[in-house]
Structure 1
Amino acid sequence: MGVNMYAEAGSEPVAVVGPGAVGLALAARLAIEGHPVTLCGRPGAEPLRHIELTDHQGTRTVAVDWQDDPAHLGPFRWVVVATKLHQSDAARAWLERLVGPDTMVVVAQNGVEHRERVAPHATADQVAPVLVHFNAERQGRAGVAIRQDGTGLVAGDDAPGCRARPLLERTGLGVRVAADFTTAAWHKLMVNAVANPVTALTSRRVEVFRDPSVRNVAAAMLGEVAAVGRAEGARLPDGAVDDVLAWIDARPSGAGSSMLADRLAGRPMEHDGLLGAVVRRARTHGTSVPLCTAVLALVAALDEAAR
């Protein structure tokens, strides 16, 4: 297969690497809008040729192609990477085949290391980091439910972000262009780098943050993440810690986190791409993050014990 070149994003095939909840949600929305979608899954996995999408419009079934061997594909014009952060090696195996000189890679993942995770297979000007603000939940093998409150996707206003925006808009999830993507990414990382590991370690949902002792630990961790983010150039306000805690407080009763769900299901957790990214960046700036470092070590040990 050669590079798929069409005049408009609406007629272009899209390869989606990572058929998890976010990948299925994006694949289904793009397929509904007429994009031929190829799902790139784990070798030997049961083929998935239809997605049952449930959203505010009800439940719809859309057809997709399925591939589990990168050798069967060539470059695509559009590639969406939606793997979990700890699955970067698998994603790179696909990118080696899917990325050509005219490919645009949309990285719809958590964290702040979007471009680093797809290098060296895609250059910086081929990569559009995207923050996912909608909630996607798997329902069986082929089903996914989307819930959102406001804009679902955030992209940067740099050249790659502008190039990716037409495709992102076709998802119908709403796209916000962030003039300061660094700040937007670190603000989201403040939530993910603390709420995910704390819920996973305690095996409790968001109500755990009502415990005064846990809340104090979370606030201290958030302060460390904010300090690293500011060293990275993020313009996080003085009240950023309180803002994040207020956001967590506003979550519906029983809300959990992706890392908690992975722990309960016995799956690997993406702690390295979240809290690990904070600790790595802290080292480059000489910033002290003792609590984040300690919690990262505990979650890593927990993850290792489950394997």
Structure 2
Amino acid sequence: MSEKAILFDTSRCSACRGCQVACKCWNDLPSPIEKNANPSTGSYQSPADLGADTRLVVTFNEEAGGSKGVMWAFGRRACQHCTDAPCAAMCPAGAIFKHEETGFVTMDDSKCVGCQYCSTACPFDVPRYSAGLRTTISKCTGCIDRIEQGRAPACVSTCQPEGLLFGDRSEMIARAHERVAALKQRGYENAVVYGESEMGGLHVIQVLKYGVAAHGQIENPQVNPAVALTQIMKPITAVGAGVTVVGLAAMFALGVGYKRDKVVYNAETEDTISYESGEVVKHGDGQDEKTIKEHIFENLPGKKGGHNE
């Protein structure tokens, strides 16, 4: 299977939001039914942003402006499926990972430990979390379960005006460039292809009719520096863990056969007395002046003064 991609063509999108509904239906994600659960924001966009139960949002920009008058700049808020996916690099539990055959960044929420590192790493602010008995990750999976069965992602399958297409990544990029060229000929000078090279190449390729900013996308997204630091620290942490294990094993070995005499302290005479023999072990301050290490070594089997029990 070759690398795949979703093509989102904003010039064909009618903002019907059928893709949002399809995503929820396929992934069994509930929508709130309480009164005013999604309060008005003054925009036709609903909901206002992604959430634990909302992995895809069609965005509205009613104030794009420009030489052609009022422009409805629709956008797509969802996982971009980066080739250089910082969320996957940061995840300590393997809950987010790349599907090698398609290039999509998918997830297994059963492995999520709720650390939320992926949210910090994502330059697109995509990963969200459920707030139940256990905090778990929620984001677009790329519908890998559908793709493996030869089907398109749920959002693509429901798009009537073909604002969403799915296929080999190279083909989607070629189609995007053809569309942008046609738009420029019609006077849309800001039309651009987005996703071809950003973050090592995205697996959601977009035709942005009015330019990057108008459709709510990020110019030149960058990996959070914390991701690089984490990758540097991983081998150091691994070495540190190994040294700790070796140290604990050595202390266990040193302690084999160690048996310290039971003693009691007589405050009146200031004598430290052996509980078993009654002999005075020490006179004066009841504090033990020897270190634990010294006691261990003097009581090792075969050592002078040691016990062979």
Shorter chain as denominator, the TM-score bin is: under 0.3
TM-score, normalising length from structure 2? 0.25
Of structures 1 and 2, the one scoring higher in RCO (CA 8 A, sep 6+) is 2
Higher helix share: 1
TM-score, normalising length from structure 1? 0.25
Larger radius of gyration: 2
